[in-house]
């Protein structure tokens, strides 16, 4: 407001220009304060190690405790607190900060609720803040298993899916249609036998590193790409299989546009030139 009043009153055109630039910067700053992770530079990496989560429980606020990250139960309710969990005891229906007791090294996790037909989901909301339409992304993360349940032959999973929404989409985790699943990015519990027990999700036997490109998307400027994980209900509703404790850690995300037409032609010309040179070589 002060800038606007000064702009209207100041006699110097140069000063007015400076004030106008300040106003633009102020507006841009306000716009950048909007929710979700703003992905502004194609080819750059967004990374998240979740270590800002506490080693003891605290309140959980979607898109605030970790910017861009959300939880939701399939009933539509969202957890309002998170537990720090090392797999030693049930922590259902909650956001989870998984890690060794007292350690500052954390991951983001879940333990499915025992309520029939209810699933717990978490995910990341990314806004394309660049000027380019992005056509592919590569997601990498480590899946960590922090608790195994005895007598369950079927392994629990964190099923990975993605979908693109319009800007300002809000929490889309409970949207039931339109998702594309990617099996190469779905985390299946590596341990599914033995007694019910806590596991060290940071130990190599209890974790899996996943990475895969996803191509053929059309993620336009301003649109929101949602990545979500669903803690699957593997047994009949209400079985103890839901009590596996699973988490994600050390995540990185990179998205890029379609190579430009000029780039394709250039690459094609170079390949053709190399091929002809090789042909001539063979003829000699």
192 and 240 Cβ atoms separated by less than 8 Å: no
248 and 144 Cβ atoms separated by less than 8 Å: yes
> How far apart are CB 221 and Ca ion at their closest, in Å?
31
> How far apart are CB 41 and Ca ion at their closest, in Å?
24
Beta bridge partners of 85: 98
- Annotate each residue in 125-144 with x if it binds Ca ion (CB under 5 A) or - if it does not, as one string: --------------------
Please give the span between the terminal C-alpha atoms of the chain, in angstroms, as a whole number.
Answer: 78
Among 22, 23, 38, 49, binds Ca ion (CB under 5 A): 49
Q: Which stretch binds Ca ion (CB under 5 A): 166-174, 202-210, 213-221, 222-230?
A: 202-210
Q: Is 15 helix (H, G, I), strand (E, B) or coil?
A: helix
Q: Which stretch binds Ca ion (CB under 5 A): 8-16, 103-111, 151-159, 218-226?
A: 103-111
Q: Which helix (H) or strand (E) holds 25?
A: helix 13-32
> How far apart are CB 246 and Ca ion at their closest, in Å?
12
Q: Which is nearer to Ca ion, 50 or 219 (CB)?
A: 50
Q: Does 258 bind Ca ion (CB under 5 A)?
A: no
Q: Which stretch binds Ca ion (CB under 5 A): 31-39, 61-69, 183-191, 243-251?
A: 243-251
249 and 108 Cβ atoms separated by less than 8 Å: yes
Q: Does 107 bind Ca ion (CB under 5 A)?
A: yes
> How far apart are CB 265 and Ca ion at their closest, in Å?
44
Among 93, 145, 224, 249, binds Ca ion (CB under 5 A): 249
Q: Is 281 helix (H, G, I), strand (E, B) or coil?
A: helix
Q: Which stretch binds Ca ion (CB under 5 A): 1-9, 100-108, 145-153, 173-181?
A: 100-108
Burial 67-92 (b: 16+ CB within 10 A, else e): ebbbbbbbeeebbeebbbbbbeebbb
Q: Which is nearer to Ca ion, 105 or 258 (CB)?
A: 105
245 and 158 Cβ atoms separated by less than 8 Å: no
Q: What are phi and psi of 243, to 5 degrees?
A: -90, 5
Q: Which is nearer to Ca ion, 129 or 250 (CB)?
A: 250
Structure-token pair, residue 204: 């190599």
248 and 158 Cβ atoms separated by less than 8 Å: yes
Q: Which stretch binds Ca ion (CB under 5 A): 4-12, 106-114, 165-173, 256-264?
A: 106-114
26 vs 6: CA distance, rounded Å = 15
User: Rounded to 5 degrees, what angle do the CA atoms 102, 107, 108 make?
Assistant: 120
> How far apart are CB 51 and Ca ion at their closest, in Å?
5
Q: Give contact residues for Ca ion (rule: CB under 5 A).
A: 49-51, 105, 107, 202, 249
């Amino acid at each position: 407001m002060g800038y606007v009043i000064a702009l209207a009153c100041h006699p110097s055109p140069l000063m007015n220009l400076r004030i106008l630039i300040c106003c633009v910067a102020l507006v841009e700053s306000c716009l950048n304060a909007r929710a979700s992770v703003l992905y502004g530079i194609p080819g750059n990496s967004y990374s998240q190690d979740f270590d800002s989560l506490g080693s003891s429980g605290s309140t959980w606020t979607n898109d605030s405790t970790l910017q861009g990250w959300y939880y939701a139960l399939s009933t539509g309710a969202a957890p309002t607190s998170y537990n720090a969990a090392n797999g030693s005891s049930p922590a259902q229906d909650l956001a989870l900060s998984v890690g060794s007791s007292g350690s500052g090294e954390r991951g983001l996790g879940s333990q499915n609720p025992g309520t029939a037909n209810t699933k717990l989901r978490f995910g990341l909301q990314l806004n394309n803040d660049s000027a380019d339409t992005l056509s592919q992304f590569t997601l990498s993360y480590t899946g960590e298993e922090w608790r195994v349940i005895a007598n369950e032959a079927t392994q629990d999973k964190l099923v990975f899916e993605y979908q693109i929404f319009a800007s300002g989409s809000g929490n889309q985790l409970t949207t039931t249609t339109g998702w594309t699943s990617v099996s190469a990015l779905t985390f299946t519990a590596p341990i599914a036998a033995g007694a019910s027990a806590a596991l060290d999700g940071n130990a190599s036997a209890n974790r899996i590193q996943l990475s895969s490109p996803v191509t053929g998307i059309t993620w336009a400027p301003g649109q929101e790409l949602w990545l979500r994980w669903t803690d699957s209900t593997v047994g009949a509703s209400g079985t103890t299989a839901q009590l596996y404790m699973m988490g994600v850690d050390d995540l990185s995300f990179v998205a890029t546009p379609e190579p430009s037409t000029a780039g394709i032609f250039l690459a094609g010309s170079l390949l053709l030139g190399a091929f002809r040179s090789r042909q001539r070589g063979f003829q000699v």
